[in-house]
Copies of this chain bind each other. A is one copy, B any other.
Amino acid sequence: MEGEDDTVLRSRCRAIPKLPTFPDLDSSLDGDCDQEQHQQGGGDNHITSNGKIEVEHVISKKLQLKRKAEFLKSDLMRQFDSQVNDFMDSLIEESASLEPAPVPAVFSPPLSDKERSKLRHFRPPHGQGKQFVSRRSLLDELFEVNHIRTIYHMFIALLILFILSTLVVDFIDEGRLVLHFDLLVYAFGQLPLVVCTWICMFLSVLLVPYTLFHLWSQTQSGSNRHPKLCSLLFGSVFLLYQALGVGFLPTYVVVTNSFPPASCFIIILEQVRLMMKAHSFVRENVPRVLTWAKDKTSPSPVVPQVSQYLYFLFAPTLIYRDKYPRNPVIRWGYVATKLLQVLGCMFYAYYVFVRLCIPQFHSISLQLFDLRAMVLCVFNSILPGVLVLFLGFFAFLHCWLNAFAEMLRFADRMFYKDWWNSTSFANYYRTWNVVVHDWLYYYVYRDLLWMSQKRCRPAAMLFVFTVSAVVHEYILAVCFGFFYPVLFCLFMCFGMMFNFILHDQRKGPIWNIIMWTSLFLGQGVIICLYSQEWYAQRYCPLKEPSFLELMKPRSWSCQKLMSDSDRL
């Protein structure tokens, strides 16, 4: 990309050839192109007094130029040829090596149709599952184009201005240079407890599902007389563990200790992540053991090593494989850059909240049913909303996942695709977070279709949507400490609607504009309503709330309370 871009710029340079006949050319105001050409042509700018010699000189220069161009051309062609050759060869090899399943399969004894259809139920979805391929993240590729890197620089410039103006205002307010990040300190409070909770959670997910699976796989070896009973038993224990050990306990810790939002986010996101990882591990390996139990091609079932499971728990993917494509080396400089960028995004988000959200909502008289104020509130929340969206995407989906992928030499970096170019919400959902999308697609959507024998495709899609919306809302509800299903409603109403209106047949630029308009609007609504509710919860705490009162958004009733107090 860099190369292509340079070519464009270079050809723009080349298009204004300067004549070498005027040695008094002045280039100090006229930029790089001229300078380069001067350096090249500066050597032989001399006017001889004999016209004939000049003609010969010009002709010989032209011939030189032509020879040089021809040489360059043949050189370029040779290079291009060898590159295309290598590329084609590697492509052919790769496509051959990616088809391992059919070749061994055909050497096994042919199966009856009944056996085949039975086997299909147990067959691990490797062949049809996600294929991991060594590839870079799209933003890493795009940032090599200087026009797009400039956008990144503009965001940094904005951060610098955020910091500068905050410093100056704080300096005027307090008379000295202050650098306090009370919001960050508050949001990441109770960090020791967070770390302890995380370690317990991680160790339990490392040990319990693996041990359960290991024990269960031994019950399938044939010596056991009731393999199905054992499967039922172990399955129930695993589900119970998922529900209570991973599902309930961390939430209980978070709620009883009333963790602040960011600490809460860490635990709840890790909880969801580990739950999905454990599910994937079991989902991918159980069919392998069942296949082995049918065929008995080897003396013992293929049970992954604990090190493979441990690698999977850290790897930036939610689809278990024994092996992933790996990079040869770790570029620690890259890791450091990405982690610094995560830190930068955190501070950026801090400034967005401190400078754009808090002043707007802190002093607002809560006016939910004043439509005019609501419209202005939503509109004013678009800028912070979009910034938070970009920051979250960049910090988590690009930097954080890439940093971990680099440290683990994990080579498949397609954590997202070019969601910004989406012309449909269906495509946006697929490309925004490929990691989670793949999990939902393979383990919820495809497994549902498989279970229902492909009878209810729209129902499966609806279920995937609901699962996703519920989990998103669950995370927000626990972290903010209140239940206000704005995201859920946006997701289930507009998200679903747009998913069917803005389907994949929409390709024109107008649909991309509509996608962005609704995304902007959605972010504005989310930031505006959640912020209002956040402050309503602070301003109007309930003494002995009933369940119904807890469910009811406080910003609706708090307004009345405030009006009452206004009247007093």
Residues of A within 8 A of B (CB): 1, 4, 8-9, 12, 14-19, 21-22, 24-26, 28-32, 35, 49-52, 54-55, 58, 62, 65-66, 69-70, 73, 76-77, 80-81, 84-85, 88, 91-92, 95-96, 98-99, 101-103, 105-108, 110, 127-128, 131, 133, 135, 138, 141-142, 146-151, 153-154, 156-158, 160-161, 165, 168-169, 172-173, 355, 371-372, 375-376, 378-379, 382-383, 414, 417-418, 420-421, 427, 430-431, 441, 445-446, 449, 454, 457, 461, 464, 504, 509, 512-514, 516-517, 519-521, 524
Q: How far is the CB of A428 from chain B (nearest CB, A)?
A: 11
Taking a contact as CB atoms under 8 Å apart, the answer to whether B521 and A147 are in contact is: no
Q: How far is the CA of A149 from the CA of B80 in the complex (A)?
A: 30
Chain B residues, Cβ within 8 Å of A420: 147, 150
Contact status of A19 and B102, CB under 8 A, knowing A12-B135, A512-B150: yes
A506 CB, nearest partner CB in chain B, Å: 12
CB-CB nearest 3 A-B residue pairs = A157-B516, A51-B106, A157-B517
CB pair A153–B376 under 8 Å, yes or no, is: no
Among A102, A146, A355, A519, chain B packs the most CB atoms within 10 A around the CB of A102
B22 touches A128 (CB 8 A): yes
Most chain B C-beta atoms within 10 Å of own C-beta, residue among A55, A80, A157, A524: A157
- Beta-carbon contact of A513 and B160 below 8 Å: yes
Q: Which of B4, B21, B514, B516 contacts A127 (CB 8 A)?
A: B21
Complex Cα distance, B149 from A16, in Å, reads 27
Q: Say yes or no: A379-B161 contact (C-beta < 8 A), given A29-B430, A110-B51, A172-B372.
A: yes
Chain B CB count within 10 A is highest, among A25, A153, A383, for: A153
A102 touches B31 (CB 8 A): no
A77 to B83, CA, bound (A): 11
Given contacts A19-B128, A51-B107, 14 further A-B contacts (CB under 8 A): A8-B141, A9-B418, A12-B414, A26-B449, A30-B441, A35-B504, A51-B110, A55-B106, A58-B103, A146-B421, A147-B418, A156-B516, A168-B375, A383-B383
- On whether the beta carbons of A165 and B372 are closer than 8 Å, the reply is no
B residues within 8 A CB of A32? 427, 504
A331 to B: closest C-beta gap in Å: 18
The answer to whether B110 touches A62, judged by C-beta atoms less than 8 angstroms apart, is no
Contact, CB under 8 Å: A26 / B446: yes
Quick check: A427 and B372 within 8 Å, CB to CB?
no
Rounded to whole angstroms, the CA-CA distance of A482 and B22 in the bound complex is 46
Q: Is the CB of B31 within 8 A of A169?
A: no
A513 touches B15 (CB 8 A): no
Residues of B within 8 A of A382 (CB): 158, 161
**Is there an interface contact between B19 and A154, defined as CB atoms closer than 8 Å?**
no
Residues in B with CB closer than 8 Å to A22 are 127-128
Closest chain B CB from A56 CB (angstroms): 10
Per the bound structure, the CA–CA distance linking A193 and B278 in Å amounts to: 77
Report B-chain residues with C-beta under 8 Å of the C-beta of A154: 516
Separation of A446 and B375 alpha carbons in the complex (Å):
56
Asked if A172 and B375 make an inter-chain contact with CB atoms under 8 angstroms apart, the answer reads: yes
Q: Is the CB of B517 within 8 A of A161?
A: yes
Question: Contact at A17–B95, with CB atoms within 8 Å?
Answer: yes
Q: A290: shortest Cβ distance to chain B, in Å? A: 18
Which B residue's beta carbon lies closest to that of A96? B62
Q: When A30-B430, A55-B103 are in contact, do A371 and B84 touch as well, CB less than 8 Å?
A: no
Pairwise interchain contact A99-B58, C-beta atoms closer than 8 A:
yes
Q: How far is the CB of A226 from chain B (nearest CB, A)?
A: 32
Closest-CB distance, A318 to chain B (whole angstroms): 15
